[in-house]
Amino acid sequence: DIFEPYYTGQVIDGIAIEKSQEKFTRAIIIMTLLSITSGVCAGLRGGLFSVCMARLNIRLRNLLFKSVTQQEIGFFDSVKTGDITSRLTSDTSTMSDMLSLNLNIFLRSFVRGAGTLFFMFKLSWQLTIFTLVIVPVVAGVSKIYGKYFKKLSKAVQDSLARANEVAEETVASLRTVRSFAHENGECDRY
């Protein structure tokens, strides 16, 4: 992906400016090889991260379940069953998804950034230095956004846990809910 614009320029130069069939053919072959390599690497990366995500999710669920089963009995009096099951299901999935997604994005961005930086220095070190001046600003904005997103994600997970808790309580005591004709109230609570 990093080198495609450069070799696209080489193709155009080979045809329009230099009228060189050899340069044109060489650039097309290199672009084709780069595209194939990029596609294969993207597929391998996606497959590996899917497997890692699934394994991490299973491991997190097993560790959390083991921890839950080893709690004191009083713990189950203070923590609702819906909250525990929500943590076992949706929270572990969300956590493993976010972790593997962030790792995937980080590694892809790191490789792309290193390649781009190398290529930029190769073309013009002066322009590269000038471009790098803006990096601290981008890092600061990213940090602020990361804090906001983390807070928002926690609020969503807490809301899902409460909804799961209400659903479990309502289903478990549906006879009582119906005897008080409070179905609509429980729907509103959910």
What's the pTM value of the predicted model, to 2 decimals?
Answer: 0.52
Quick check: 164 and 86 in contact, CB under 8 A? yes
Q: Is the dihedral of CA 83, 88, 93, 95 positive or negative?
A: positive
Q: What is the pLDDT of residue 149?
A: 92
Q: The domain 1-124: what is its CATH number?
A: 1.20.1560.10
Which value, to the nearest 10 degrees, does the dihedral of the CA atoms of residues 181, 185, 189, 190 take?
60
- The confidence score (pLDDT) of residue 17 equals 83
* Phi, psi at 71, each rounded to 5°: -75, 155
Low-confidence ranges of the chain (pLDDT < 50): none
Q: At what angle do helices 125-132 and 92-123 cross, to 10 degrees?
A: 140
Q: What are the structure tokens assigned to 46, written together?
A: 């996606």
> Which pLDDT score is estimated for 52?
84
Give the pLDDT confidence score for residue 15 in this predicted structure. Answer: 79
Report whether 98 contacts 153 (CB < 8 A): yes
Region at 181 (left for phi over 0; alpha for psi -120 to 50; beta for the rest)? left
Tokens 């429980």 found at:
186
> What pLDDT score was predicted for residue 169?
84
